């Protein structure tokens, strides 16, 4: 039997500004180890909002969130930061790299924070990931010297550095041209098939979604399929 990586029970979220309205409506969700899942839906239906809840960054919700069968809801800021560091890898639409650090250091940073491996080992691991993503030749460049697609691959390498339980992405190809988008998708695919990495990607690109293992469709804050 496969392990459950992510689970929600009756997830509800309201926005109060400008007026009270419910963005997430009673979402029950289960994601198993090794699944490559995409969340699709019309713009404004609450995909991003749901992902931020799952990412533990947004704590203002009702219902329960479990990661690896551990209840996350109600944990302290300190613990949540630790869980994000250790168990979740993020890739955003806009490649958020730290402009002050070079590519290699950007990838290593969450690892340094975790402190599980020495700096030397982390460097080796970071280079290995960069090699898998075929950007190791840019390891010593600064982020502003890279193209959009390359930056996104660096962000994926960073997401991988602590061997997370799950990688989450909010439209990671949304800001890329077709070709770079395909390269990024192929990388996710490869991670899922070759390394059995659990991946959850929000997208509004139907082509992207159709190539994933499982599609979750949202409408108006609810999961409809």
Partner 1 sequence: MNYKLILDIAIHLLRARLKQTIVAAVGVTFSIAMFISLVSFMSGLNGLLDGLMLNRTPHIRMFNEVKPSDNQPLSLSKDYKGNTVFIHSIKPKDRGKSIYNSMSIISALKQDKRIIDVAPKVTASVLYNSGTIEISGMVNGIDVLAENTLFKISDYIKEGKLSDLFQNNSIIIGKGLSDKMLLSVGDIIKVSTSNGTLSSLKIVGISETGIADIDNMASYTSLATAQKIVGQPKNYITDIQVNLYKKENAVAIAHEFHTVYDVDTIDYLAANVQFETGSSVRSIISYAVGIVLLIVAGFGIYNILNMMIYEKMDSIAILKATGFSGSDVKWIFISLSIIIGVTGGVFGLIFGFIFSSIIDVIPFSSPSVPSVTTYPIDYNGSYYVIGLVFALFTTLISGFFPAMKASRVDPVEIIRGK
Ligand X SMILES: Nc1ncnc2c1ncn2[C@@H]1O[C@H](COP(=O)(O)OP(=O)(O)O)[C@@H](O)[C@H]1O
* Residues binding ligand X (CB under 6 A): 15, 17, 23, 41, 43-49
Which residues bind to partner 1, rule: CB under 8 A? Answer: 48, 52, 55, 57-58, 77-78, 80-82, 84-86, 90, 92-94, 96-101, 109-110, 112-115, 158, 162, 170
Distance separating alpha carbons of residues 71 and 113, to the nearest angstrom: 23
Q: How far is the CB of 68 from Mg ion (least distance, A)?
A: 26
Contact between 49 and Mg ion (CB under 5 A)?
no
Cβ distance to partner 1 smaller for residue 29 or 109: 109
* Residues counted in the chain: 225
Closest distance of CB 1 from partner 1, Å = 30
What distances in angstroms separate CA 222 from CA 35, 201, 213, one per listed residue?
Answer: 21, 17, 20
Residue 77 structure tokens = 């800021």
Pick between residue 48 and residue 180 the one whose CB is nearest to Mg ion.
Answer: 48
The b-or-e profile of 145-177 (16+ CB within 10 A means b, else e) is ebebbbbbbbbbbbbbbbebbbbbbbbbbbbbe
Q: Which does 22 bind (CB under 5 to 8 A by kind): ligand X, partner 1, Mg ion, none?
A: none
Binds 46: which of Mg ion, ligand X, partner 1, none (CB < 5-8 Å by kind):
ligand X
The 3-state DSSP class for residue 71 equals strand
What residue ranges bind Mg ion (CB under 5 A)? 48
């Amino acid at each position: 039997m496969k392990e459950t990586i992510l689970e929600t029970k009756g997830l509800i979220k309201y926005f109060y500004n400008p007026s009270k309205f419910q963005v997430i409506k009673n979402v029950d969700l289960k994601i198993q180890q090794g699944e490559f899942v995409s969340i699709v839906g019309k713009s404004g239906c609450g995909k991003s909002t749901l992902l931020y809840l799952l990412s533990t960054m947004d704590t203002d919700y009702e219902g329960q969130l479990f990661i690896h069968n551990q209840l996350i809801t109600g944990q302290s800021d300190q613990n949540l930061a630790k869980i994000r560091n250790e168990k979740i890898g993020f890739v955003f639409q806009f490649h958020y790299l730290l402009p002050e650090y070079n590519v290699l250091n950007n990838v290593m940073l969450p690892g340094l924070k975790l402190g599980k491996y020495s700096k030397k080992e982390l460097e080796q691991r970071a280079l290995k990931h960069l090699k898998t993503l075929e950007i190791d030749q840019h390891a010593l460049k600064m982020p502003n010297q890279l193209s959009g697609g390359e930056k996104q691959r660096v962000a994926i390498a960073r997401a991988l550095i602590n061997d997370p339980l799950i990688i989450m992405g909010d439209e990671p190809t949304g800001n890329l041209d077709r070709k770079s988008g395909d390269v990024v998708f192929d990388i996710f695919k490869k991670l899922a098939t070759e390394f059995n990495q659990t991946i959850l990607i929000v997208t509004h690109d139907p082509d992207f979604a159709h190539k994933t293992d499982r599609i979750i469709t949202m409408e108006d804050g609810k999961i409809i399929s």
